[in-house]
Copies of this chain bind each other. A is one copy, B any other.
Amino acid sequence: MSKLRLNVTMSLDGFVAGPDQSDENPLGIGGELLHQWLLPLKAFRETHGEEGGEVNASTPIAEGILANTGATIMGRNMFGGGPGPWGEKPWRGYWGDDPPYHHPVFVLTHHAREPLEMQGGTTFQFVTDGIESALEQARAAAGDEDVSVGGGATVAQMYLAAGLLDEMVISVVPVMLGGGARLFDNLGDARPKLEQVQTVEAPGVTHIRYAVAQ
């Protein structure tokens, strides 16, 4: 069966977003420091329609985020659009008309909404009946390919606590945010068993791949 994978960048002190997150500043204070390893890469710029960029030891990791991935699941905060129902001029996500996913994206939300078809093969589908339903729909859409948990922290925690995650790639950056959204939090009594599979040293970041025992 296809895997459920999480790729996420974490500050050394454990946060995936800084304090005071908002729709205007979804990564919180200092959160822009998290992705400095990713943004200059050719592999990232290409997926956002930009030319040029660097190739380094992070390239295979950046490529791996979308490689062999047939569907993505994300939370309402990562999709954006503010709290409450969607309103009359609904938010279309942070990624412009042609989002970098190019496959179905399932957004966990409390507010139902018709699917939103974007350019380039990305369709946002809004799931109101929980993480297991979202995973089931995502697996059906992905076929033989993997399903990626896009974030944010809350969604990652729910899949981890439920024992549904198969693999995590944690990109640890030399940044201290001091507060914000902590990745490994709210896990209750869940103590996932991890196996370190691979470590990649790259400029300004260490990528560690873990298998999660079910």
Contacts and interface: CB of A to CB of B under 8 A. Distances in A.
A27 B210 CA distance: 24
Interface stretch (A59-67, A89-97, A143-151, A193-201): A193-201
The complex is assembled from copies of this chain, and their number is 2
Interface stretch (A45-53, A104-112, A124-132, A167-175): A167-175
Given A13-B184, A184-B14, A195 B174 contact: yes
A92 to B, nearest CB: 35
Contacts of A204: 196
A188 to B, nearest CB: 8
A164 interface: no
A171 to B, nearest CB: 11
Contact of A208 (B30, B172, B192, B195): B172
A123 interface: no
Interface string A4-32: 00000000111000000000000000100
Contact of A174 (B30, B174, B184, B196): B196
A175 B212 CA distance: 11
24 contacts: A12-B170, A12-B184, A12-B194, A12-B210, A13-B184, A172-B172, A172-B208, A173-B196, A174-B194, A174-B195, A174-B196, A174-B210, A175-B194, A176-B184, A176-B187, A176-B191, A176-B194, A177-B191, A178-B187, A178-B191, A196-B204, A196-B205, A199-B201, A206-B208
